[in-house]
Every structure is written in C-alpha cells, then in structure tokens.
Amino acid sequence: MTEIATRASNELDIRGVGKRYANSQSEHGELQVLQGIDLHVPAGRFVSIVGASGCGKSTLLRLVLGLDDQYEGRILLDGQPITGTGPERGIVFQDHRLFPWLSVEQNIAVGLRNAPFTAAQKRALVAEHVELVGLQGFEKSWPHQISGGMAQRVAIARGLVNRPRVLLLDEPFGALDALTRSRLQNELQQIWQKERITMLLVTHDVEEAVFLGDQVVVMQPSPGRIRRIVDVDLPHPRNRSDPRFIRLRDDVLGDFLDVRTEPPPGPAPDAPRWPSAIGPSGLQLAW
C-alpha cells in the first residue's frame, strides 16, 4: 500500500465557508448564500443536511464537488484543499441524469470514463456495482425501460463505481414515491455499511435524514448557515417506530418549523407545537 493510500482516511473538513452570488436585486448587488459553514465529517460518517429551500444546500455540495472555486473559507479532504472535481468525490442528483442512448451498464461505466483501469477491470467493476444496487438482469436495459427507482439505483451505482472517498447525494430520492423511497433508503443504508464511504446527503425529508444520518445538520436561510447539528446516536439499521427515533425526528422537525413560522403574537403555552394542517406525521414538508 502506498504512503498516500495509508494516510487517506476520507475525512472532510469544511471551514468557514461562505459563498456569494452576483444578484442585481440585492442591496449590495450580491446575495450571500452561505455564511460561516463549519462542518467536520470524519471518515465513513453519514451526514444528513436538511434546510429550507434556497438555504444553500446544493450550493454547498457544488463547492465540495469542486464545480465552483469562488468561495470563502477552505474545504479539505484528508487535510488537502480540494481543487476542481476529482474521482474521489462522486455525486447523485435528484434527477438521475442517465444518458437515454446508453444501457444501464453503459451508464454506470460513465462513472469510470477517466479511471486508470483496463477494459476488463472496468467490466468487473460495473458488474460488481450492478449487483451492489440489485440490478442484475437489467444490465442491457435502456433508461426508458426501467422504473424511476431503478434509474436512481443506476445513478447511485454510477456515483460509486469509481470508488469515491466521499459520495454527495442531493435529494436523491426526492422525486420517488414513498414506498420506493423507503426501499432505497434501506438499500443506501446497507451500501453505506458495506462500503464505508463518507456520505453527505441533502434531503427534504426529516425522517430520511434521521434514518440514515449519524448526524443531521439543520441549516437555516438568509444567509444559509448551520443552525445546529444533531447527533443521531442510534444503532443501524434504525427502527422508525422506536420511541427514541421518533423523538429525534420530531426534535429536528420542530426545529424546522421554528425557522419557517413567525412566532405567535401572544403567549400560548398550551398551543400544539405543529400547525394542525401539517402535524408531526406530515414529514415530507413542502418547503
């Protein structure tokens, strides 16, 4: 094993990160989208990020992916500043972004296009990842022949096939129906336990965030910043009906609704914490 490989631990360090976009409608001609983001993600950790729409979650993932180097602060992977995109960081988006003219296995192989492997090694890696996401028998299928959930599995396999050290997931299950979403959450959890890759998941779904995350980062908008980080100290796989799970989920959810709603005009000590139209079971919030 090389010295670099021995030292590599897949630790991600986000220090004092801020990001502004030019915006003619803002007071100073620019919009502060992220401010003072400090996040330390130890190797192999699963971190979920939740936050209102527009609070900069996708922007943060773009910076970690290396698509944009115009930001304040530092982003380090194993102590080294990230520079541009690189094979050690993979991403999965909400829309699967498969190429319609490529088969399932060819789409997965796209993740290996710049990888220093022989054709035979690439074939073996694709086959391994087809199996990892349970798509054996569909290797030759076209994207239009498979379901949304299967397409998202292909996108996850494509994100993992290059064996990244960090996998970024931007609302990967947001467009799927509830049953498929829950199945894929279980599968992602198993993949993470097997591969032990550092994962950073942005989601709208508080239950998903708590189900998968070792930590849940709650962000708040204007400018996008971290409101608090909640440790989810429950063993995997998690039981969604465990009272401790429900308590943590409702704690995070309540935090959110605090951000979203104006304080009531007068003291209302007995008022329910959730607006009745939403309720604690309405977990998929329309932010």
Ligand X SMILES: Nc1ncnc2c1ncn2[C@@H]1O[C@H](COP(=O)(O)OP(=O)(O)O)[C@@H](O)[C@H]1O
**Site of interaction with ligand X (CB under 6 A):** 21, 31, 33, 51, 53-59
Of 274 and 287, which has the nearer Cβ to ligand X? 287
What's the helix, strand, coil split of the chain in %, to 5?
A: 35, 25, 45
Q: Given its phi and psi angles, is residue 120 left (phi above 0), alpha (psi -120 to 50 degrees) or beta? A: alpha
CB atoms within 10 A of CB 113: 9
List interacting residues with Mg ion (CB under 5 A): 58
274 binds, among Mg ion, ligand X, none (CB under 5 to 8 A by kind): none
Tokens 């932010």: give the residue. Answer: 287
Distance from C-alpha of 263 to C-alpha of 131, rounded to nearest angstrom: 50
- Alpha-carbon distances of 228 from 28, 37, 153, rounded to whole Å: 28, 11, 31
**Beta carbons of 210 and 246 less than 8 angstroms apart:** no
Distance from C-alpha of 14 to C-alpha of 65, rounded to nearest angstrom: 12
